[in-house]
Amino acid sequence: MTRWTQAGGPYQFPFMGAGSRTLAGEHEIACPRCAEAALRGYFHAFKPETGRGTLWVWCPRCRTTTHLPRVTPKVEVGPDPFADLSLEQFDALERSEPLLDRLDRLWEQGALWFASTRGARRR
């Protein structure tokens, strides 16, 4: 399987900006690197009592990714199939297989989506 590339260089800030826009409710964002697919995302609240967590954003086409730690979404982002896991369990999940591989597979299976696009075809 093709590896994931961390957004860096000229793509670092555009990907971080796309992540910030996702947290504000914008979800049909073209990949800043290849412009051939809409970005996908997943948010996990590590502190459910405050809503603070980490957002992962990735392009399924060019496999470029970034994450924004210690953020709080302004709107509902989408489902979290791992919401009930402890920190230790989530850490074990991340170590069992590359997290982005798992997240992209869940997106393809329809288990992840952006809340604002639930009625539309997920890409």
Query: Residue 119 above 50 pLDDT?
Result: no
Could you read off the pLDDT of 1-22 as tens digits, one per residue?
679 999 999 999 999 999 999 9
CA angle (52, 49, 98) in 5-degree steps:
50
Across 52-65, average pLDDT = 97
Looking at residue 45, its pLDDT comes to 96
Candidates 41, 62, 44; CA nearest to 54 is 44
pTM > 0.75:
yes
Query: Residue 107 above 90 pLDDT?
Result: yes
**Cα–Cα dist 20/120, whole Å:** 22
